[in-house]
Structure 1
Amino acid sequence: MNKINNLESKEDLHSYRKVALAACFGTFLEWYDFLTFATLAVVFGPLFFPSSDPNAGLLASLATFGVGMVVRPIGSALFGSMGDRIGRKPVFMITIAIMGLATVSVGFLPAYAQIGIWAPILLVSLRLLQGLSAGGEIGGSAVYLTEHAGNEHRGFKTSFLQLMGPLGILFSTLQIALLRNYLSPEEFQSWGWRVPFWLSVLLLAFGFWIRKSLEETPVFLEITKKNGKAESQLANNFKDPEIRKRMFLLFFCISSSGAILFFCVQVYVAIFLKTTIQLPPELVDQLSIGATLMLFPLTIFSGWLSDKIGRKPVIVGGVMLGAIFIIPAFKLLENYGIAYIQTNSASSLLGLSIVLVTLALALALVVGPQTALLAELFPAKNRNSAATLPHNLAAGWVGGLLPLAVTWINQVSGNNLTGLWYPVVFLLSAAIIAAMYLPETKLNLLNK
C-alpha cells in the first residue's frame, strides 16, 4: 500500500512539475515581452517621440509603456471571464499568441525618421495588444498553477511563478547589457535595440509548444462535471458582497502594493539611476541584475514562510517595509550614485547594492505568498474572473502608471524625490487596511 501511495505521490509531483514549467515559462515570456519595453523606455524616446526636450521624449515613452498597463484590466475582464466559461487552458493559448506576435512586430517597426507620425501610432497600437494579452495571462496563471498545487506547501510551490517577472527583467537586461557591450552606441541605437524583440519568435514557438501539453485544472473539470457547462461569473462577482469585499482587498492591499513595489524596484529604480543620477547605463544594468538575482531566493523564502505563519503577516510586513523604506532608499541611491560618479569608489557600489537588496526584500515579502492568496480568496467557480480583474486593475492603473506619475511629479516640483510620496502614502494605507480586514487564507481549500 505504501509503495502504491509513493508511486502516486511521485506521479503527482511529476505532473505538477510539468504544469509548473509550462505555466511559468508562458508567464516568463509574457513578462519578458512586456518589460523589455520598459527596459528600453529611454531608447524609445528619441526614436519614436523626437523632441528638443529630452524630458518630454522620456515622458512620452513612459506614457506609451503606461498605455499597455491601462488596458490590462480590459484584457483581464475579457479573458478572465472566458477562463471561467471555457477553461483555463484555452485562454493561455490565446494570450501567449497575442503577446508574442505583438512583441515580435515591435522589433520590425520603422522609427519616426522613416514613417513620421505612424511610428508612434503603430508602437502604441502594439503596446495595447500587449496589455490586453498580459491582462489575461497575469493573474490567470496564478489561478491555474494554484489549482494544480493542492493544499500542502502551496505557498512555497506557487511562489516560483512570482519569479517570472524578475526573470523576464533579468533576461531582458542581460541581453541589452551584452548588446551595449558588443555594439557601438550608434549600432545599438540603429538596430541593436530590436534584437530582444526578434528573439521573441523563438520564445513564442517554444512557449506555444509547451503549453499545448497542459491539462485543464482538476478544479475546473470538477465544476463542469457537477454543473455541466460553466458560465461567466464576472457580473455575479459584483453582486456578492463577500466576493466584492475580497476583490477590493485584493486590488488595494495586495496587488496594488505588489505592483507599486515591483515597478519601484524593477523598473523605476533603473530609470532613476540612468536619467536623474546619470550613472552609466552599463553599471545600472549590472546593479539591476544583482538585485534581481537576490530577489529569487527571497521570494521563495517568503512563499515558504507564508506556509508556516500565514499569508497575512508576511504580506503586511512587506507592504509596511516598503512604505517606511522607499523614500530613504531613493535618497540613499541618490547620495551613493553621486558619490560613485565623483569618486568611483567600491564603497559607493556596495551601498547601492545593499539599498537595492533591501527594496527587493520588501517586494519578495508581498509577492512570495501572492500567487496562493490570489486563488485562495475566492470560490472556484468565480476564481478566474474575481482574481484577475482586480489584480490587473491594480497592476495596470496603479503600478503601471507609477513611473510616469512619479517622473511627472518630480519634474513639476523640481525635486527628484517628491513623486515618491505617491507610492509611500498608498503603501501605508494598504498596510493599515490589510492588517484590519484581510482574512487569513492559508487553510482554505481550493475547491470550496
Structure 2
Amino acid sequence: MSNTPMPSQHSTVVSQSTIWKVIIASALGTMIEWYDFYIFGSLAAVIATNFYQSGNETAALLETFATFGAGFAARPFGALVFGRIGDIVGRKYAFLVTLLIMGGATTVIGILPTYASIGILAPIILVIIRIIQGLALGGEYGGAAVYVAEHVPDHKRGFYTSFIQITATLGLFVSLLVILIVRTSMSKEAFDSWGWRIPFLLSIVLVGVSVYIRSKMSESPLFTKLKHAGKTSKAPLKDSFGNRRNWKVILTVLFGAAAGQAVIWYTAQFYVNSWLKTQAKVPANTVDTIVAIALFLGMPFFVVMGALSDKWGRKTVMMAGNLIGAIAIYPAFMALKAAAGPITPAVLDASGKVITPAVANNPNTVLLTLIIFGLVLCVCMVYGPIAAFLVESFPAKIRYTSISLPYHVGNGYFGGWLPFIATAVVSSTGNIYAGLWFPIAIALLTFVVGMVLLKETKDNSLHDEASDNPMSTEMDLIAQS
C-alpha cells in the first residue's frame, strides 16, 4: 500500500512553490555554516604558521588539525542543546540562532591576533572559537534536515532532502573558490600575512543575507500541528535518551550509517586536499582548483542518489556507497600519487633552511580531477539519502534531538578527527598511505552493521504523525525503526 499522502488528507503537506522556498532558504543558510566551518580546514597550512609556534611544520599542522577537530568534538553537544530547543520551541528558531552564532565566531577568527602578536593566547582563543562553531553547527544540520523533511511529501523525501545534503560539499566548494580568488589576487607573502583573513570576514555578509531570508520563513507545518495538539515533548533529552528502544535506534544509526558516511566524506573531499599538498607535493593552488572542480561536478549526484533512495531504498544506496568507498579509497590514493608525478626535491642552503620547497613537477591535473570525482560519487551515495533516513528513523516529538546526536557523533568524531588521525599515522609510520586504513576500517564496519541491523525507512510516513490515527504514535514509529 502506498504511503504517499495527499494534500486533502494531511494539512502538513504544502504547495510545490512553498517547498522550493523552504529548500532554498534552508540550504543557503546551511551552506554558509559549512562554508564558515570549512574555510578553517581549507586554510590549515596558513593557520598553522600564524597561530602556532614555528619551527616544526608537521607539528604545527597536527596542532591545527587538532584545533579543527575540537570544533567537531563540540558538535554533539551543540546537537543536544539546539536539538532540545528545536523540539520544544521550534525548528525555525533553533537553526536561526545557530546561524548567527556561527557567523559571529567566523568573523572573530578574521580579526584574531596571531601568535606573533599575543603568543599562547592566540591558539587558546582559536580553540575556543572552534568549539563555539562546533556547537552552532551541531544544531544547524539537524534543524535544516528536519525542517525540509517535514514540509515535503513522503514519497519524494529522499529527493527533496538531498538538496540539504549538497550544502556541505557546496560550502567546501565555495570556501575553496573564495580562497583561490583571494590567493591569486595578491602575492603569496601578502596572503600568508593578512590575505587569509578575507574569507573569514566575508562570512558576515553571507550570514546577513541568510538571516534575512530565514527570518521570513514560517515554522514547520507538522511541528506546528503537533504543538497545537499538545503532542510535542516537554523533555526531549529525557524522551530521547531515557528510552531503551530509542537508544537502540541511535546506536544502530551511528554505527550502521553515520560513521561510514563521515569517513568517506572527509577522506574523499577533505583529507585528499591536504594529502595532495603535503605528501604528493602538488602546489596548493593546483590542488584547490582540481578539488573544487571535482566537487562541482559531483554535486548534482547528491540529488540523483537521494532520488534513487526514494525508489530503491535508503539502505541499498548507502550500503553500496560504504562498500565501494572502502574498496576504492586505497587504490584511488595510489592513483593520485602516480598522477601527481615525480617530486623535485627541496633546495636547502648551507644551514639547512629551505630555499625552494619540494614540488610535484608535472601533475596530471585532468586525471587527478577525475579520480577525486570518482571518490566524490561514493560520498554522494552515502550522504545523499542520509538526511531522509535520519528523519524517518525518529518520531516528531524528539526528532531534532535524536537525529542530531548520532549524525554529529559520527561526523564529529569519526569524520572530524580523520585528518588528525590519518596525518599522525603517516607521520609516525613514514608510509604516506597508512592513514587510509582508518576510514577503510570504519566504512567496512558500517557496511557490516548496516546490512545486519539497519531497517529500511523509506516507507515511513511523517505526515501520519500529525493525524489523529492512534496507530501512528511516536513509540510505534520507534518500534518500526
TM-score normalised by the chain length of structure 2: 0.89
Per the alignment, residue 253 of structure 1 pairs with 256
Per the alignment, residue 42 of structure 1 pairs with 45
**Residue type at the aligned position of 2:415:** G
Per the alignment, residue 358 of structure 1 pairs with 374
User: Is 2:404 aligned against 1:388?
Assistant: yes
Cα deviation digits, residues 372-409 of structure 1 (max 9, x gap): 11100111112111101111111111100000000001
Write out aligned runs for 1:130-145 (5 A).
130-145=133-148
**Residue type at the aligned position of 2:435:** G
Shift of 1:354: 2.2
Shift of 1:87: 1.0
CA distance in 2, matches of 1:429, 1:182: 45
Contact 2:261/2:443 (8 A) holds in 1:
no
CA distance in 2, matches of 1:20, 1:84: 20
Write out aligned runs for 1:62-73 (5 A).
62-73=65-76
For structure 2, list consecutive stretches of 5 or more residues without a partner in the other structure: 1-6, 344-358, 466-481
User: Is 2:457 aligned against 1:441?
Assistant: yes
Shift of 1:229: 6.1
Write out aligned runs for 1:165-204 (5 A).
165-204=168-207
CA RMSD of aligned residues (A): 1.9
Higher helix share: 1
CA distance in 1, matches of 2:159, 2:149: 11
Shift of 1:339: 4.4
**Residue type at the aligned position of 2:91:** R
Contact 1:223/1:230 (8 A) holds in 2:
no
Write out aligned runs for 1:343-354 (5 A).
344=362, 348-354=364-370
Shift of 1:228: 6.1
User: Is 2:420 aligned against 1:404?
Assistant: yes
Write out aligned runs for 1:140-155 (5 A).
140-155=143-158
**Residue type at the aligned position of 2:390:** L
CA distance in 2, matches of 1:395, 1:274: 23
Write out aligned runs for 1:81-120 (5 A).
81-120=84-123
Deviates more, 1:233-242 or 1:185-194: 233-242
Cα deviation digits, residues 48-97 of structure 1 (max 9, x gap): 01221100010011111000000111100111111111111110121011
CA distance in 2, matches of 1:139, 1:11: 20
User: Is 2:337 aligned against 1:319?
Assistant: no
Q: 1:343 to 1:104 in 2, by over 3 A?
A: closer
Contact 2:231/2:397 (8 A) holds in 1:
no
CA distance in 2, matches of 1:336, 1:215: 50
For structure 1, list consecutive stretches of 5 or more residues without a partner in the other structure: none
Shift of 1:170: 1.0
Contact 1:82/1:232 (8 A) holds in 2:
no
Contact 1:44/1:61 (8 A) holds in 2:
yes
Give 3-state SS (helix, strand or coil) of 1:107's partner: helix
Q: Percent identity?
A: 38
Equivalent in 307, 311, 321 of residue 310 of structure 2: 307
Shift of 1:245: 1.6
Per the alignment, residue 28 of structure 2 pairs with 25
Contact 1:177/1:285 (8 A) holds in 2:
yes
**Residue type at the aligned position of 1:344:** N
Shift of 1:279: 0.5
